[in-house]
Copies of this chain bind each other. A is one copy, B any other.
Amino acid sequence: MIFSKSCEYAIRAVIYIAHQSRNGKKVSIREVAQGIDSPLHFIAKILQYLSKRNIIQSTKGPNGGFYLDKRAMKQTLEDVVIAMDGDQVFEGCALGLRYCSESRPCPLHEEFKQIREQIRYSLQSTTIAQFAEEDAHKPILKR
């Protein structure tokens, strides 16, 4: 929940690609799909979209594939999430009211404002590069 399936895959894919990217290695759709155990054609669409949104980079042809350039490495997961799911996670009302507002707060407003800020903080506080560095991430993504 919290994130859409596409967004979950996207986060995992970005971390995976970033990890490979540290040594300048580009990865193909096939590798990503295997690496994070996601449907091949589905992740293809997601990567294509992330690439268009400039969250990740890609090159066609032999030796091509997906990678992250220096700038992309400095992004945070918040950027990925916003690209995939928009800002509803951070801005939307927990009870589905049209707007989350201070002036007409729903019964869960105060509590969930904090929760959403904490989600935002969690996603902001670490760069993609940092996730890529961790060695711990390997056994996690591949299952």
Contact = CB atoms under 8 A, between A and B. Distances in A.
Contacts of A24: none
Nearest to A103: B139
Q: How many copies does the complex hold?
A: 2
Interface in A86-143: 88-89, 92, 94-98, 104-108, 111-112, 114-115, 118-119, 122, 131, 134, 136-137, 139-141, 143
Nearest to A12: B95
A94 to B, nearest CB: 6
Contact of A89 (B1, B12, B95, B107): B1
B104 A140 contact: yes
Nearest to A108: B122
Given A8-B95, A111-B122, A122-B112, A105 B1 contact: no
A107 B122 contact: no
Contacts of A114: 118
A15 interface: yes
A108 to B, nearest CB: 7
A31 interface: no
